[in-house]
Amino acid sequence: MAQTNSSAQGLHIGFIMDGNGRWAKKRGLPRNMGHSKGAQVFQDMVKYCKQLGVQTVTFYAFSTENWKRPQDEVDAIMKLLKEYLLRAFDYKKEDNRIIVLGDRSVLTPEIQRLIFEIEDGTKQNTGMTINVAINYGGREELTHAARALAQQVADGKLLPQQIDEELLAGQLYTAGQKDPDFILRPSGEKRLSNFMLWQSAYAEFIYMDVLWPDFTRKDLDWAIAEFNSRSRRYGGL
């Protein structure tokens, strides 16, 4: 029977997986080894969040800016993504729903096919939702949403004055999902890096010095405890 933790029950946690390259450099290893170790941590965090009763997890896997990295590193990351998308079929047994956030049009046809099969194969699942952000950027997401609404106006299906926050949110990659309760970033960096700009309006931010490949279940326990110690007022008293 799955373990649950009342302090984590129903949460949406966003993970900015950062520090893979620095982890490898500190050990004199190729950067690709850092990404490989980070992917293992990703898999363990999925399992642990499920055990804790977390409702939704969103992992920042590959940003729209990451294409600027050396080609061999990009190729290695894409290979890892493909491998973990293949493994994702196992999540069907866990009743998890898998959704890929981001512009997938520039991804290889093979990866696009895998994404479609995984999303289609898990769309009826009612367990934890696993969002994996691939070729994702918060600004691009908002631009994509604005274009969709502008097209509806141009088609005569919508008046400009009818556009509100709810309509715009309905055009985001996370449409219909709960906004993140907190966003966790290891590695010591203290910025969003274009991650979930709209959805993080009232999210708590938790920064940790540990590099992502060294991130453990105890680190997540600490982050959840830190989140629960805070008072969320949403602009009120």
Catalytic member of 5, 44, 66, 125: 66
Based on the residue annotation, tell me whether 18 is a catalytic residue of this protein: yes
- In the numeric block, which tokens belong to residue 129? 């939702």
DSSP state of 11: -
Residues in CB range of 124: below 8 A, 6 or more apart: none
CA gap 217, 225 in Å, rounded: 12
Q: Would you call 72 a catalytic residue per the annotation?
A: no
User: 84 to each of 17, 91, 112, 168, how far by Cα in Å?
Assistant: 15, 11, 13, 31
Residues in CB range of 195: below 8 A, 6 or more apart: 14, 16, 60, 63, 133, 136, 138, 183
What residues have CB less than 8 Å from 92, skipping those under 6 apart? 121, 122, 125
CA nearest to 182, candidates 167, 201, 163: 201
Buried b (16+ CB within 10 A) or exposed e, 116-155: eebeeebeebeebbbbbbbbbbbebbeeebeeebeebeee
- Which positions are annotated as active-site residues? 18, 66
